[in-house]
Amino acid sequence: MKKRLSQKLLVLSFLITASLSSIAQSVSYTNKNALPEIGVVASDAISLDKEMIVGDAVMRQMRGQSPLIADPVLDEYLQDLGNRLVIHAENAKFPFRFFWVDNDAINAFAFFGGHIGVHTGLMRRANTESELASVLAHEISHVTQRHIARSMQAQQRSSPLAIASLIGGVLIAMANPQAGMAAMQAGQAASVQMQIDYTRSNEQEADRIGIAMLSRAGFDANGAADFFSIMAEEYRNVSRPPARLLTHPLTESRIADARSRADDYPSRFVPVSKQFELAKARIMARYSFEPDYAVEYFTAQVDKKAYRVREASLYALALAYMRTEEYDKAQEIIMGELLTKDSGNLFYLDAATDIYIAKGEPLKAVEMLSPFVENSPRNQVLALNQANAMISASRYDDAISLLKDFLLVNDEYQIAHQLMSEAYQKAKRFSQMHQSKAEVYALYGAYTRAVDELQYAYNFAKDDDHLQKQRIRARIKQFRDQEERLQRL
C-alpha cells in the first residue's frame, strides 16, 4: 500500500514540477538586487492569482493521491481554529483552507493559495490548543510572507527546471517524506536546507510573526516554545529526526528565542479547551489506535481518571465501541450522558447519528438533528449528518434538497457530492447521479474521468430535457477548459 502511494505521489510531483517549471521560467533575471524582507514581494516570481490556481491544482491532486482525512467534525474544528488566527494575520490575500493528513508523523505544511495541512501525529502530541495554534500560526506566516515565491525569486540564477523539481519534491514531502525525498533527488536538489521554509531567515520570520499572531488571537504566546520543547524531548535520542524537524530545524537557540519573544506579550491564562480535547480524542480513537486497543486504552483512562476533560475520554471510548460494533455501549455514553449535558455539541451529534444509522433507526437521527439543521442549515457537520440519515431513511428528495442548499456555499466538499450521488442513485435519477460523480472526480483533478461521467449523464437525460442537456454540455466545456489551463501552467 505504501509503495503504491509513493508511486502516486511521485506522479503528483511530476505534475507539480511541470506546473512550477513554466512559472519559474517567468522569473525576471534582470534584477540582481537582494530580496527585501517584506512578505508581499516576489510577485514577479508568481502572481497571487497564479499562486491560487497552482494551489487549487495541487490540492485536487492531493485529494486523490494522499492520505487526506474527510471528516466533517475534525474539518469544522480545524477550520474554525485556523480562522481564529487568520483574522489576526497581516497580508492575508486569500481565504485559507486547513485540512488533515492521516499520518502519525509530527508534521504540518503550507503551500500555494493558503492551503495548510496538519498531520494527525502532530495533533496527538500537542498538549494544549495553544501549542496546536502555534503551529498553524507559523504555517499561516509562511503563506502570508509568501516564502515559496520568495524562495523561487531568491534562486532566480538557478535553472528553472531545477527550481521546479526542487519545489515539486518539497510539496510531496509535506504529505509523504519518503516520496518527496525521492522526487527531490530526481530533481538533483543539492540540499534539503535550501527548500522553501527550511531557510533560517524564513523560519525566524515565521516564528516571529506567528508568535505575535498567536498572542493577538488570545492564545498563550508560550505555545510555540512549549511545542518545540515537546519535539526536542521526544526525538532527543533518535538518529533520524521526523519530517517536521528536517523541514523546521530545531535548535536550543530557537527554543530560547521563542521563549524570549513570548515574554514580549502579555501573560495570560488560557483554560483547557474542551473542543481541542474532543478533536484529539477523536483522532486517537478513530485514526491512531486499532479498535480493540482503543477500547482498552480509553477504558483505563476513564477508570483511572487520567484525563484533562472527562467528557473527551468518554467520547473517545464511545467511538472505540462503535468501531468494535458495540453500539449499545456507545449509545449509553453518547445519549445517556454526554448529550444530556451538552445537547448541541457537534462531536456528540455526529456520533449519535452514526449510532442510530448503525442500529437501523435513521429516522431518530433525522428527528434529533432537525432543530439544529433548521438553525444552521449550512453547517457541514449538521447538514451532512442529516443528509446521510435521510438517505438511510429512504428520504432521498429531502436529502437532495438539503445537499443542494449546502453545496451552494461549499461546492468543493467531496463528501457532499458523494452523498448527493448516492441519493440520486437510490432515487434512480441516473443522469443526476453521474453529474454528481463527475464533480467528485473533478475535485480529485481527474478531469478526463469527470467528462466521461458527464457523457454518461447526457445519455441518461431525457430527450425532451433540453435545459439539462445544455447544462451538461456547458459543464463538459468547463472541465476541459480547466484541464487545458492546468496544462498551460
- Residues tagged in the binding site annotation for Zn(2+): 138, 142, 203
Nearest to residue 23, comparing CAs of 172, 175, 156, 185?
156
Binding site as annotated, residues: 138, 142, 203
User: CA 190 to CA 286: how far, in whole Å?
Assistant: 40
Catalytic annotation present for 139: yes
From 131, 139, 197, 354, active-site residue: 139
Residues 6+ apart with CB under 8 A from 411: 439
C-alpha cell recorded at residue 469: 442537456
- Number of other residues whose CB lies within 10 A of the CB of residue 306: 9
Strand partners, 239: none
Give the three-class secondary structure for 115.
strand
- Which residue among 207, 220, 311, 439 is the active-site one? 207
How many CA within 13 A on the CB side of residue 279? 28
Nearest to 109 by CA among 42, 41, 196, 188: 196
Find out whether 142 and 149 touch, Cβ atoms under 8 Å: no
Give yes or no: 207 in active site.
Answer: yes
126 with 132: CB under 8 angstroms?
Answer: yes
Give the count of alpha carbons within 13 A of 479, CB side only. Answer: 25
Cα separation, 275 vs 281, in Å, equals 10
CA distances from 96 to 103, 140, 214, 218, 247 (A): 21, 8, 16, 19, 21
Q: How large is the C-alpha radius of gyration of the chain?
A: 24
| Nearest alpha carbon to residue 134 among 193, 212, 51 | 212
Nearest to 298 by CA among 286, 309, 314: 314
Grid cell, residue 468, equals 439539462
What angle, 0 to 180 degrees and rounded to 10, lies between the N-to-C axes of helices 72-86 and 380-392? 170
3 vs 480: CA distance, rounded Å: 31
HSE of 344 in the Cβ direction (CA atoms, 13 Å)?
A: 7
Could you list the active site residues?
139, 207
